[in-house]
Amino acid sequence: MVGAPQDIPVTSPWPRDRHTGILRLATAGSVDDGKSTLIGRLLYDSKAIFEDQLSAVERTSRARGEDYTNLALLTDGLRAEREQGITIDVAYRYFATPRRKFIIADTPGHIQYTRNMVTGASTADLAIILVDARNGLTEQSRRHAFLATLLRVPHLVLAVNKMDLVGYDQAVFEEIAAEFTAFAAKLDIGDLAFVPISALHGDNVVQRSENMAWHDGPALLSHLEHVHIASDRNLIDVRFPVQYVIRPHQATDPELHDYRGYAGQVAGGILKPGDEVMHLPSGMTTKISHIDTARGAVDEAFPPMSVTLVLEDDLDVSRGDLICRPHNQPMVTQDVEAMVCWMSDAVALTPRGRIIVKQTTRTVKALVRDLHYRLNVNTLHREEDIDRLGLNEIGRVTLRLTQPLFCDPYSRNRQTGGLILIDEASGATVGAAMITEKH
Amino acid sequence: MGHPRTDYLPTQLDVLEAESIHIMREVAAEFERPVLLFSGGKDSIVMLALAERAFWPARIPFPVMHVDTGHNFPEVLEFRDRRVAELGVRLVVASVQESIDAGRVAEETGRWASRNRLQTVSLLDAISDHRFDAVFGGARRDEEKARAKERVFSFRDEFGQWDPKNQRPELWNIYNTRIKMGEHIRVFPLSNWTELDVWQYIAREELEIPSIYFAHPRSVFERDGMLLADNPFIPRAEDEPVFEATVRYRTVGDMTCTGAVESAAATIKAVITEIAATRITERGQTRADDRTSEAAMEDRKKEGYF
């Protein structure tokens, strides 16, 4: 049996309007690091686990002859996973506290780790990297940290787990933290925090641990609740990829007959009625007449709002176009430099290979003009003179596109700088790419 | 410089709404023949409301489809028809009774006989007859553990099957919509919503929901810890007496497999207060179809279930 959940308030049915946003987090680590136990603990202590789910887990634990309720079982999804004790794919978990709603992208540590971790990290505000206090940093923890920074996850937490098994020894924790800090200097990490925990016993997960009074930082959950994410979005560069043109054509309502709205999700910046804007690819400028939502017109729009822009002038705007400010334009280019993570075992990425690229609302054909190097994710060394990129490999490419993209370096904007790569023949998603600065 | 007026952080419901609207517009832009599954249940009510908001002031640019088991709550059918008329959208009904009459499926027998699983055949037949290439469903990832692993855009082969081990990676908010003739994509705009989010959105947007979601008197009987409505579609055993109770429904499915909970919650506010405090999942509490085995949902999903 696990004890009663630690006492944190049950989610208020009445979220305080301004304060309950969403934090998306990715967790990396293998089963051995206690990742599933940590997630089980967060879900259990935040009362996101229900009695029928818990009793199913208790039954399974007993049937397996385990002497405590294995919270890791809460996150096993598919039959094959339960039978083989592995995690196959990214699973999404949800819990909430009165401060925030949390979406966890739970990615397996070993099998297909790169593909899955890249997928989970692509939308994450924060990544938790778990290490086992007894083993210290491993190749895998370095790899996970690298992937989180490659995908520009703004906040990183190194959670040193199983502190109970090293006698809650501060020196063990400090040594791992120092080693990781030295490694992190080679990466571009925005915000880094360290927490010593025991997921199994709940130390420093939801409440600060009495066993580790020497730790002066908050417990993990408190850090997740308070980490400042408001500044992570790009609110400077206005980027509005046009997704869909709304034309009501309702003869019954003459007012709507000439309505022409450009629907989309704001990918950067703050738009206001009256703002002068530029349309790409035409380069024509006009003003925003108003910004519509079904709830009525709004006086500003910012990421990640889905809105409809009505422009003052009648321009020829269609899906795949982009609205920006005249003095702050994205790159408009048919030659894209990018870091690619390849995700297919059926086909490889090869120089001169053809691929379909989807970026924001734009889909274009492309040719792999150059494959510059493969990055060894363990050593961070560049392996040059290669002729292919296989499953779970990361490399640097130049793509030549049949149509220009309106894009930004991924480091500047994750929405306009990220691409997915699609295989023409099978239609499968075979890779992800992050646009780099031009050299 | 004064203080900024806002930190530009939208609430969780605003973020979820914006994400769902983006998904729906993406489908409308990239597919030729989408359809939205509408059962009259709370999740599909929210989904339909989001579609209305996504394309406003234009009409929803695709039809809605109901897979009708013939064992539905009359209150829900009445609600369905009224809502469809209000929105001016076309309703396609895929009838399980017709699938049975045509010999496509055989009626189950026995104590837990239900048309729930048979719906899959009617659904897949309708998708193929109407050549739908994208099908919106109201499933949420928090509902069930097999669903926790499903993509927002979930690829289905020409047999309508889901292969959990071979799913397309899904990055950022960029969705791969490429399919070949005969294949289709199931799209789940509510993937990241929880049960509580759905209820809070219904409250915030003042969405109308069928009356059976609120406390009402009903003739019920108890089976395996669930309260089932006394109805002509379930044979009752002698030791299953009918009694009057004040109940509400937490999920709305087929009358043969959806249980009620005892409740006095007669307003949306009271319902949300109960949901926030409950310690049992909605499917565990009120859905017999998920009680058959640990992997019941996974198996049905692989066959092409919602």
**What are B232-259's pLDDT values in tens digits?**
888 888 888 999 999 998 888 777 778 8
Selection from A12-26, A350-364, A372-386 with the highest mean pLDDT: A350-364
Q: Please count the other Cβ atoms lying within 10 Å of the Cβ belonging to residue B294.
A: 15
pLDDT band at A46 (very low <50, low <70, confident <90, very high): confident
User: Is the Cβ of A435 closer than 8 Å to some Cβ of chain B?
Assistant: no
User: Is the Cβ of A198 closer than 8 Å to some Cβ of chain B?
Assistant: no
What is the C-alpha to C-alpha distance for residues B119 and B113, in angstroms, rounded to an integer? 13
Q: Tens of pLDDT along B98-132?
A: 888 888 888 887 776 777 778 888 899 899 999 99
The pLDDT value recorded for residue B160 is 85
**Percent of chain A residues topping a pLDDT of 70:** 88
Contact assignment for A306 to B179 by CB distance below 8 Å: no
User: Is the Cβ of B298 closer than 8 Å to some Cβ of chain A?
Assistant: yes
User: Nearest Cβ partner of B148 from A22, A93, A292?
Assistant: A93
Q: Tens of pLDDT along B261-305?
A: 889 999 999 998 888 777 777 767 666 666 555 566 777 777 777
Give me the count of residues in chain B. 306
The pLDDT value recorded for residue A164 is 96
pLDDT band at A77 (very low <50, low <70, confident <90, very high): low
Q: Do residues A107 and A119 lie in contact, with contact meaning Cβ atoms separated by under 8 Å?
A: yes
Contact assignment for B164 to A259 by CB distance below 8 Å: no
ipTM summary value = 0.92
B-chain residues within 8 Å CB-CB of A91?
145, 148-149
Q: Which of A18, A78, A225, A365 to mutate to test the interface with B (most CBs of B within 10 A)?
A: A78
User: Is the Cβ of A257 closer than 8 Å to some Cβ of chain B?
Assistant: no
Q: Tens of pLDDT along A373-416?
A: 999 987 889 999 999 999 999 999 999 999 999 999 999 999 99
Give the residue on B whose Cα is nearest the Cα of A49: B279
B window 206-265, beta carbon within 8 A of A: none
> Quick check: B25 pLDDT over 90?
yes
B-chain residues within 8 Å CB-CB of A77?
145-146, 148-149, 298
User: Is the Cβ of B194 closer than 8 Å to some Cβ of chain A?
Assistant: yes
User: Nearest Cβ partner of B56 from A56, A76, A294?
Assistant: A294
- Tell me how close the Cα of B54 comes to any Cα of chain A, in angstroms: 7
Contact assignment for B279 to A51 by CB distance below 8 Å: yes
- Mention every residue, 6+ apart, whose C-beta is less than 8 A from residue B38: B44, B47, B48, B64, B65, B66, B80, B83, B84, B91
Q: Which pTM does this prediction carry?
A: 0.92
- What SS3 string covers chain A? CCCCCCCCCCCCCCCCCCCCEEEEEEEECCHHHCHHHHHHHHHHHCCCCCHHHHHHHHHHHHHCCCCCCCHHHHHCCCHHHHHHCCCCCCEEEEEECCCEEEEEEECCCCCCHHHHHHHHHHCCCEEEEEEECCCCCCHHHHHHHHHHHHCCCCEEEEEEECHHHHCCCHHHHHHHHHHHHHHHCCCCCCEEEEEECECCCCECCCECCHHHCCCCCCCHHHHHHHCCCHHHCCCCCCEEECCEEECCCCCCCHHHCCCCEEEEECCECCECCCCEEEEECCCCEEEEEEEEECCEEECCECCCCEEEEEECCCCCCCCCCEEEECCECCEEEEEEEEEEEECCCCCCECCCCEEEEEECCEEEEEEEEEEEEEECCCCCCEEECCCCECCCCEEEEEEEEEEEEEECCCCCCCCCCEEEEECCCCCCEEEEEEECCCC
- Tell me how close the Cα of A309 comes to any Cα of chain B, in angstroms: 12
The pLDDT value recorded for residue B6 is 60
User: Nearest Cβ partner of B276 from A10, A248, A264?
Assistant: A10
Instruction: Give the residue with greater pLDDT, A171 vs A143.
Output: A171
User: Is the Cβ of B277 closer than 8 Å to some Cβ of chain A?
Assistant: yes
User: Is the Cβ of A228 closer than 8 Å to some Cβ of chain B?
Assistant: no
CB under 8 A, 24+ apart: contacts of A115-118: A115/A341, A115/A343, A115/A391, A115/A392, A115/B169, A116/A89, A116/A90, A116/B169, A117/A26, A117/A28, A117/A144, A117/A147, A117/A148, A118/A147, A118/A150, A118/A151, A118/A341, A118/A343, A118/A432, A118/B169, A118/B171
Q: Tens of pLDDT along B60-81?
A: 999 999 998 888 888 899 999 9
Contact assignment for B149 to A77 by CB distance below 8 Å: yes
Q: Which of B155, B165, B176, B302 to mutate to test the interface with A (most CBs of A within 10 A)?
A: B176
The pLDDT value recorded for residue A72 is 67
What is the C-alpha to C-alpha distance for residues B154 and B188, in angstroms, rounded to an integer? 8
Contact assignment for B280 to A56 by CB distance below 8 Å: no
User: Nearest Cβ partner of A17 from B11, B197, B281?
Assistant: B11
B-chain residues within 8 Å CB-CB of A57?
none
Residue A323 Cα distances to A43, A263, A298, B74, B295, angstroms = 41, 11, 18, 49, 47
